């Protein structure tokens, strides 16, 4: 079975290649991308606060608000930048007192287009039966060629 980049189920995902060639340091390119995402997302969505955590073993969270996590997952030079409804015990405990799920889904629907415009350079157009994903350059990435 083929493999592609991981991201949380139900998340809004923007795909981007990690800049770099064989000679460049991908760890440095990764950290630069993370810094860019944090700065841009906090400016565009001021409710986000810095957070350091993980969803599973592959999905790194670095921003969080009352409703959502924002993070990154990488695989073979492909980065999935994502926002997803929070899925942590504190969120679900608070949800018992004051339901948040509907508001979280509404907020995600409101910001999804802007999120993709800010971070998406590639668009997933499908998957092969073995699980490998197929991408094309996104128009929002500034590609105006016909």
Q: For residues 7 and 136, is the Cβ–Cβ distance under 8 A?
A: no
Indicate the domain borders of the chain: 12-135
pLDDT confidence of residue 107? 96
Q: What is the mean pLDDT of the chain?
A: 87
pLDDT confidence of residue 83? 98
57-71, 111-125, 131-145: least confidently modelled range: 131-145
| CA pair distance 62, 70, nearest whole angstrom | 6
Q: Is the pLDDT of residue 29 over 60?
A: yes
Q: State the sign of the Cα–Cα–Cα–Cα dihedral 12, 14, 61, 37.
A: negative
Place of tokens 């400016």: 43
Residues 6+ positions from 40 with CB-CB distance below 8 Å: 118, 119
Q: How many beta carbons lie within 10 A of that of residue 32, not counting itself? A: 13
Q: State the sign of the Cα–Cα–Cα–Cα dihedral 90, 102, 55, 79.
A: negative
Q: Which helix (H) or strand (E) holds 74?
A: strand 68-75
pLDDT confidence of residue 143? 47
Confidence of residue 22 (pLDDT cuts 50, 70, 90): low
Instruction: Give pTM, 2 decimals.
Output: 0.85
pLDDT confidence of residue 11? 95
Confidence of residue 131 (pLDDT cuts 50, 70, 90): confident
Distance from the Cα of residue 54 to its chain's centroid: 13
89-99 tens-digit pLDDT: 888 888 788 88
Confidence of residue 77 (pLDDT cuts 50, 70, 90): confident
Percent of the chain surpassing pLDDT 70: 89
What residues pair up with 64 in beta bridges, in sequence order?
Answer: 49, 69
């Amino acid at each position: 079975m083929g493999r592609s980049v991981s991201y949380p189920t139900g998340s809004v995902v923007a795909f981007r290649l990690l800049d770099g060639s064989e000679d460049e340091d991908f760890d440095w390119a990764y950290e630069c991308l993370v810094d860019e995402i944090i700065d841009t997302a906090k400016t565009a969505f001021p409710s986000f606060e810095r957070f350091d955590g993980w969803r599973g073993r592959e999905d790194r969270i670095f921003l969080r608000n009352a409703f959502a996590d924002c993070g990154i997952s990488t695989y073979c030079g492909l980065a999935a930048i994502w926002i997803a409804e929070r899925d942590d015990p504190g969120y679900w405990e608070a949800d018992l007192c004051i339901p948040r799920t509907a508001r979280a889904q509404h907020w995600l629907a409101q910001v999804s287009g802007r999120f993709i415009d800010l971070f998406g350079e590639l668009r997933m157009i499908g998957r092969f039966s073995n699980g490998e994903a197929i991408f094309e350059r996104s128009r929002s990435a500034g590609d105006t060629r016909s």
